[in-house]
Structure 1
Amino acid sequence: MRYLMQVRIPSEAGNRALRDPQFGERMAGLLADIKAEAAYFSTLDGQRGAYIVVQFDDASAMPRLAEPFFLWLNADVTFLPVMRPEDLGAATPSIRAAVQQWGQT
C-alpha cells in the first residue's frame, strides 16, 4: 500500500541539521534507505517540511521509516494512505456498492 509521509521539522532541529555540510548527502541517503518513490520539500504548519511517498504492506514498517526522522531531525511524522488514479479505478466497484447501500437519502 502506498502512503504519503508528512514530515514536519521544527526550526531549531532543522537549523542545526542544515548547518551540517553533509546535510544534502545524508538526506539523499535516508531517502534511498527508505526507498522513497518521491520526495517534495516545502513548509508544513509554518515549519520546514517534506512530503514523501513510500510503499509498505505491514504496519511494522512504520518505525523503520519514521525513526530516522524522529532521531535525526526531531520531526513529527504522519502516515496518510493514498491512491494513484489506477488504484481509484480498481476501487470503483466498492465505491458503487457503498453508494448503492449508503448513498440513498
Structure 2
Amino acid sequence: MRVLLKATLDTDKANEAIRSGKMPELMKETLDHLKPEAAYFGPMGGRRTALLVIDMKDSSELPPAGEPFFTQFNAEVEITPVMNGEDLQKGLSQLR
C-alpha cells in the first residue's frame, strides 16, 4: 500500500543536527533505508517537514518507517494511505 509519511521535525533537534553537520548524513541514511518513491522537504506550519511517499508491503513496516524520525529528530510522524492516478482509476472501476 502506498502511504504518505509526514515527519514534522522538532526545531531544537533539527537545529542541533544542522549545527553539528549531521543533518545531510542522517537524512541520507533515512532515505536510503526507506527508499521512498518521492521525497519533498519544506516548512509546514513553521517547522521543518519531510513528506515521503513509500510503498509498504505490510503493516509491520510501520515501526521502521517512523523510528528514524522519532529517534533522530524527535519528530511528529503521521502516516496516511494515498493513491496515485492509476490506483484511483483502479479503485473507481470497482464501484460500478
Please report the TM-score for the alignment, with normalisation by the length of structure 1: 0.84
Structure 1 ranges of 4+ moved more than 6 A: none
Higher RCO structure, 1 or 2 (CA under 8 Å, sep 6+): 2
Mean Cα deviation higher: 3-12 or 87-96 = 87-96
Q: Distance in 2 between matches of 1:75 and 1:22?
A: 16
Percent identical pairs in the alignment equals 38
Please report how far the alpha carbon of residue 42 of structure 1 lies from its aligned counterpart in structure 2 after TM superposition: 0.9
Task: Report matched runs for 1:1-105 at 5 Å.
Answer: 1-96=1-96
Please report how far the alpha carbon of residue 2 of structure 1 lies from its aligned counterpart in structure 2 after TM superposition: 0.5
Q: Distance in 2 between matches of 1:66 and 1:11?
A: 17
Provide Cα deviations, 1:40-83, integer angstroms capped at 9, x if missing partner: 00122221101011111221111111011100000010001110
Q: Distance in 2 between matches of 1:25 and 1:50?
A: 15
Mean Cα deviation higher: 64-73 or 45-54 = 45-54
Please report the TM-score for the alignment, with normalisation by the length of structure 2: 0.91
Q: Distance in 1 between matches of 2:93 and 2:21?
A: 51
RMSD (CA atoms): 1.3
Q: Distance in 2 between matches of 1:55 and 1:28?
A: 18
Q: Distance in 1 between matches of 2:80 and 2:26?
A: 24
Unaligned runs of 5+ in 1: 97-105
